[in-house]
Structure 1
Amino acid sequence: MLDTKVTISAPSAMERSAEEGDEKERVHDSSVDYKGRIPRRSATGGWRASLFIIGIEFSERLSYYGIASNLIIYLNKVLHQDLKTAAKNVNDWVGVTTVVPLVGGFLADAYVGRFWMVLISSIVYLLGLSLLTLSELVPSLKPPPCSSSTSGSSAYYTCTKSLRTHKLAFFLALYLISLGTGGHKPSLESFGADQFDDNDDDERRKKVSFFNWWYFGLCSGVVLGVTLIVYVQDYVSWGAGFGVLAATTALAIVVLGFGVPFYRYRVPQGSTLTPMVQVLVAAMAKRKLPYPSDPSELHELETVPGRRRLRHTNRMRFLDKAAIVDQEALESSPAAANKGCHHLWRMATVTQVEETKQLLSMVPIWLCTLTFGVCISQGQTFFIKQGNLTNRYLTPHFQIPPASLLAFSASTMIIFVSFYDRLLVPFLRSLTGLDRGITVLQRIGTGMAICIATMTAAALAEKKRRDSDHVISVIWLVPQFVLLGVADVFTLVGLQEYFYDQVPDSMRSLGIAFYLSVVGVSSFISSLLITVVDSVTGRGGRKSWFGVDLNSSRLDYFYWLLAGLCAMNLCLYVLVARKYVYKTVERVQRGAVGDAIDEGGGGGRELRVIA
């Protein structure tokens, strides 16, 4: 009989080191590469992938602001709408464009995937821009020009209403662009942030910078949109300006395709709202059960598929009942107990409960930012109309288009984002020990305070314009545009970080949509506020604050009203923000639970949990 011995040797130190190195090279954050494999850190994601995405955002913002910044001028000059109607139409379009992302973000997270949503919505965006271009280039769709006549030394202009077919084509194109933005905007930004692994310290710090440089690329697109594109629209033709935007978007779709091998993709996990509803149903069904003496007795899985585990908190304790293990129910159903099965609508995990708590706690913050959104919406409407009545000549033969005044805000953003990321954050980090320098809610609140100064500067500039016996220089409007840019860097970038970080991992496109909805809902509120103020101030035969044109309006009073609302809202925001509890995730490393990462509160504090 042949006696054989099999000797199994332990792996050498070199082999163990190679295995650990290979494990570290893999990205274990539920993402996959373009072939469906676990991504390699050196070949995917990071700045190599996100630069493609920032470039695409540059193109989208170029197109959006090339339209939005000059839209009130187009409606006024080409469609011959009065000031109130034009401002309302702009606010309505901006509102729809920034609320539709709630649907697009949900579909991207739940069913379509972020990359495919970006691709599909970019094609819809291109269709809208192409139709917009055709509405100006096709002779049968072109609006009739105004005819002029003279009487003595005075000139008179007779303007007929725009052709019905032109208005139909124009607004159809405009809302196709809204539809494209609805899928593009929330998905692209979250897709870009997905390129950084939250479980890796280095990549997590880079993600903080990503949001700042994302805004840098965004603002670069804004600058070109409100200068070069607006100049082409005003001094060449509207059709040529729209055509440039369509060509740029087509090029961006090609660039998106070039980055396919380098991206990290998140697989859709199904409806992201169903688990939240399950928590509410389960908590209500078990409302009479007593709380366990130890939170560790609440139901939790060792690993949560497609997401990271969240640490238990003591807020909204009623929802904890959804995770209570109902022993009586298990004893009454031995088969279910033996299999470890719990009905989804009767049992939730601690992570599901904490995600639901997190979403509910974000509602007050969202509400407190709406007043800020109302204020910044004036930048694309009344600020532009103010600029239209100032002396905008840089030379005797060159005049700045009124919509190009937004370049002051965008340029300020570009400069200040660089200053904030490279100088201010490291300085504040050295003082506070937080990765972000200050907490994300402190950043948002700082921008809200600056917004009060913005409205104050706008009111003073409008008072100066009204009281002056000559046309004032456009320089008087520069402070309000610059302050608007600084406020945006603090609050809008902060809101992007806040909603991306604080929502559940499976809802991050929807998180960006929540941020966009602040701007969208605020635009609707702005339209409603204009209507209410116009009605109230015009009662009893009095002169309304909003006339047919700017000279017959009292825009300075409206700005003072907004400044006061901002001040009261800031006080409320401070009270809400002080009570806010940031999401804390448990970092999983090779099957073990490691440190808990405090997200949003700066990312610098780590809370030790059982390893």
Structure 2
Amino acid sequence: MANSDSGDKEAHRSSKHGGWITLPFMLVTLLGMSITYFGWVMNLIVFLIEEFNIKSIAAVQISNIVNGVVNMLPVVAAILADSFFGNIPVISASAFISLTGISLLTLIASLDYLRPRPCETGSILCQSPSKLQLGILYAALALVITGTAGTRFILASAGANQYKKPKEQGRFFNWYFFTLYGGAITGTTAIVYAQDNASWKLGFGLCVAANLISFIVFVAGKRLYEHDQPLGSPYTSLVRVLVAATMKRKAVISYKDEDYHHRELEKETKTYVAMPSKSFRFLNRAALKTEGDSNNNMWRLCSVQEVEDFKAVLRLVPLWTSVMFLSAPLAVQMSMTVLQAMVMDRKLGPHFKVSAGSMQVIALVSGCVFIILNNWTTYPMYQKLIRKPLTPLQKVGVGHVLTILSMAISAVVEAKRLKTVENSHLMSVLWLVPALVINGIGEAFHFPANIAIFYGEFPESLRNTASSLTSVVMGISFYLSTALIDVIQRTTKWLPNDINHGRVDNVYLVLVIIGVSNFGYFLVCSWFYNYRNLKNDDHEQDPKDVTN
């Protein structure tokens, strides 16, 4: 009778919370936060150069650091949500923090004494920003970065949590990606255009409005959401495996099932294994029963499933590193494209001028279009011709090739642009379009596929933070790009503050070499990688995935 009552309560709770009624609240929140984020970050380099008199390469470095932090912090937000507070409170607090930060940026753009005086026309001497001005700027950036990190990826898991069936969760993710790209395109075009052609005050003010609407709408739907319960840090079990294996490092490994510890609940999961695998055998000792072990001492005795989960994470590390070196060239290209556009002819007709910070919208639109085309035409046609589907790692491999091609085209275009500078002729900014289009197509292949790999292959206890870990990879790549630019600037003369006197084409050639080397490394990693969970999905993918 008690079980019946609890079942009735659960059904009653589920009927009143979650489901498709929450979709408009989630999507409006995501749309507003995306417009806000892309509205300030895509034109940050131009803002630093024009409003704070910061040198171009230094502005690029600051922008890369900002992008790196934005992509690194989501994993912290995910841990806080999973371990302590839950998704909904973290999103609410983060949206408010972002609103505070973007309001402060608007204040900076509105009050002259919060910025250095503009450079005089024709003068090479410009007033540097004071420590106070830089302090307020960095405080504003810290707030909007924190707010963005706590919403963008957490909204994905919070939205998916509103649905019980995997099919419904899949439909939500489709809406999520379309809305994310829609917000990115709006912020990169409309907001950046307002900043460049009207005023920074108006541009940032529009971001404030978008952020405020997001915050109000999300809070208004709070009573409708299915609230997740914090279950403690999912990373604790990973640490316990390493500690337990180290404590029993002298124990002799057994080949009998009964010598290893299992938990009853794990036997019902689809990933249950009776014996630990032979790879990373040192870790098997964590689940080995020895004298003095107690089921209550979780730091000395782990289950076989926990050991295998830890191994699953370790197996993904090589692929993880290959994604970093795939994203680093893209981060450099994103920064260099803005600098190139600033010294090119951006006029399209007599009355319209393209904003330098808006050039990245080409890659966004291209990526959005080809995500649709891939799912509707490319992948089905491939499966019809080859009689088996493209595996996630094969899709990532295609993304690698297209990224290398994009860098090569950028090198050729920049070499041609430098020749036009010698003739005192400005090259049209449209020459940057082909490389950006190919960049977007490559992202349409590798970005969703990488998320599928991390989400599908990570242990179930870590799936809520799998997408945020993908973001961490992107964040590290921005730091790698910053380090690469710094090394090139210190050792060569390719990156002066005026790139018309530099050799950005050589920088792109270096990125091509890095890309080719990384692609070779990725092929080796994909050859040796065995799928853990994805081979059991509806697509019946091969356990051994060779990208060629």
Q: Could you state the TM-score of these two structures normalised by the residue count of structure 1?
A: 0.80
Q: Which residue of 1 aligns with 2:108?
A: 135
Structure 1 SS opposite 2:530: coil
Structure 2: distance between partners of 1:454 and 1:173? 34
Shift in alpha-carbon separation, 1:262–1:430, aligned structure 2, 3 A? farther
1:577 aligns with 2:513: no
Deviations 1:574-604 (A, max 9, x none): 11122223333xxxxxxxxxxxx746x7753
Structure 1 SS opposite 2:152: helix
| Structure 1 residue 58: Cα displacement | 2.4
Question: Which of 108, 119, 123 matches 1:146?
Answer: 119
Shift in alpha-carbon separation, 1:492–1:51, aligned structure 2, 3 A? farther
Q: Which residue of 2 aligns with 1:316?
A: 280
Shift in alpha-carbon separation, 1:306–1:394, aligned structure 2, 3 A? farther
Structure 2: distance between partners of 1:399 and 1:147? 23
Q: How does 1:13-412 map to 2 (within 5 A)?
A: 37=10, 45=18, 48-50=21-23, 52-148=25-121, 159-197=126-164, 203-208=165-170, 210-295=172-257, 298-304=260-266, 310-311=272-273, 313-326=277-290, 328-329=291-292, 341-412=295-366
Question: Is this contact kept in 1: 2:245–2:285, CA < 8 A?
Answer: yes
Aligned residue identity for 1:466 = L
Structure 2: distance between partners of 1:501 and 1:402? 38
Q: Which residue of 2 aligns with 1:541?
A: none
Shift in alpha-carbon separation, 1:298–1:193, aligned structure 2, 3 A? farther
| Structure 1 residue 137: Cα displacement | 1.8
Aligned residue identity for 1:375 = P
Question: Is this contact kept in 2: 1:307–1:505, CA < 8 A?
Answer: no
Deviations 1:81-115 (A, max 9, x none): 22221111111111122222232222122112122
Two-structure CA RMSD over aligned residues (Å):
3.0
Shift in alpha-carbon separation, 1:497–1:261, aligned structure 2, 3 A? farther
Structure 1 SS opposite 2:265: coil
1:485 aligns with 2:485: no
Aligned residue identity for 2:97 = V
Instruction: Tell which deviates more after alignment, 371-380 or 548-557.
Output: 371-380
Structure 2 SS opposite 1:303: helix
**How many percent of aligned residue pairs carry the same amino acid?**
29
Q: Could you state the TM-score of these two structures normalised by the residue count of structure 2?
A: 0.89
1:419 aligns with 2:373: yes
Instruction: Tell which deviates more after alignment, 110-119 or 548-557.
Output: 110-119
Q: Which stretches in structure 2 are left out of the alignment for 5+ residues?
A: 544-548
Question: Is this contact kept in 2: 1:458–1:480, CA < 8 A?
Answer: yes
Structure 2: distance between partners of 1:47 and 1:263? 10
Question: Is this contact kept in 2: 1:129–1:242, CA < 8 A?
Answer: yes
Structure 2 SS opposite 1:563: helix
Question: Which of 401, 412, 415 matches 1:449?
Answer: 401
Aligned residue identity for 2:321 = L
Question: Is this contact kept in 2: 1:99–1:521, CA < 8 A?
Answer: yes
Aligned residue identity for 1:91 = N
Deviations 1:255-301 (A, max 9, x none): 22344355444321112222112112222333444444454763222
Instruction: Tell which deviates more after alignment, 124-133 or 307-316.
Output: 307-316
Q: Which stretches in structure 1 are left out of the alignment for 5+ residues?
A: 1-18, 27-35, 149-154, 198-202, 331-335, 538-543, 585-596
Q: Which residue of 2 aligns with 1:557?
A: 506
Question: Which of 420, 424, 427 matches 1:472?
Answer: 427
Structure 2: distance between partners of 1:188 and 1:566? 32
Aligned residue identity for 1:168 = G
| Structure 1 residue 216: Cα displacement | 2.2
| Structure 1 residue 548: Cα displacement | 2.0
| Structure 1 residue 156: Cα displacement | 5.2
Q: Which residue of 2 aligns with 1:15?
A: none
Structure 1: distance between partners of 2:509 and 2:80? 41
Structure 2: distance between partners of 1:228 and 1:221? 10
Structure 1: distance between partners of 2:451 and 2:160? 11
Bigger helix fraction: 2
| Structure 1 residue 410: Cα displacement | 1.3
Aligned residue identity for 1:498 = I
Structure 2: distance between partners of 1:37 and 1:524? 47
Question: Which of 454, 461, 467 matches 2:413?
Answer: 461
Q: Which residue of 1 aligns with 2:546?
A: none
Instruction: Tell which deviates more after alignment, 137-146 or 96-105.
Output: 137-146
Bigger strand fraction: 1
Question: Is this contact kept in 2: 1:379–1:406, CA < 8 A?
Answer: no
Question: Is this contact kept in 2: 1:59–1:249, CA < 8 A?
Answer: yes
